[in-house]
């Protein structure tokens, strides 16, 4: 089991970026690590726990690829609706993965 999390960072100019990441531990610990040495405000907005957390993160990164920040890493410019629906989106992906595993045992080898 692990977590897919959504973190908000607000820079000194009020610009917002969202980090989509994973952690095997409590996501609050990840926020503390990111905050260390960072003058920007960082806040954990949402997190989703699943055995499929790594695949869900990959799908989210793919889904929001065109919304990546200039740094081209795990930071995105998400809309309010995308932030609000984060848990539902993770849950939908998770259910799709579970269905694929149930109906296609070949898929289980590659998740």
Nearest in space to 9 (alpha carbons), one of 86, 68, 77, 93: 77
- Residue spans of alpha helices (H) in the chain: 27-35, 53-63, 80-84, 86-103, 105-108
Q: Which residue has the tokens 């740094």?
A: 71
Enumerate the domain spans of the chain.
2-108
Nearest in space to 76 (alpha carbons), one of 9, 3, 4, 2: 9
CA dihedral 10, 12, 15, 18 (to 10 degrees): -30
> How is residue 39 written in tokens?
């003058």
Tell me the whole-structure pTM to 2 decimals.
0.87
pLDDT digits (tens, 9 = 90+) for 24-63: 999 988 888 888 888 888 999 999 999 999 999 999 999 9
């Amino acid at each position: 089991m692990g977590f897919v999390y959504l973190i908000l960072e607000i820079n000194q100019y009020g610009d917002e970026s969202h980090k989509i990441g994973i952690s095997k531990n409590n996501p609050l610990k990840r926020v503390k690590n990111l905050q260390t040495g960072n003058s920007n405000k960082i806040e954990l907005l949402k997190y989703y726990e699943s055995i499929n957390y790594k695949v869900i993160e990959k799908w989210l990164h793919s889904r929001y690829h065109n919304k990546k920040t200039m740094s081209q890493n795990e930071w995105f410019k998400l809309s309010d609706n995308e932030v609000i629906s984060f848990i539902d989106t993770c849950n939908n992906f998770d259910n799709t993965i579970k269905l694929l595993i149930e109906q296609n045992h070949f898929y289980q080898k590659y998740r």
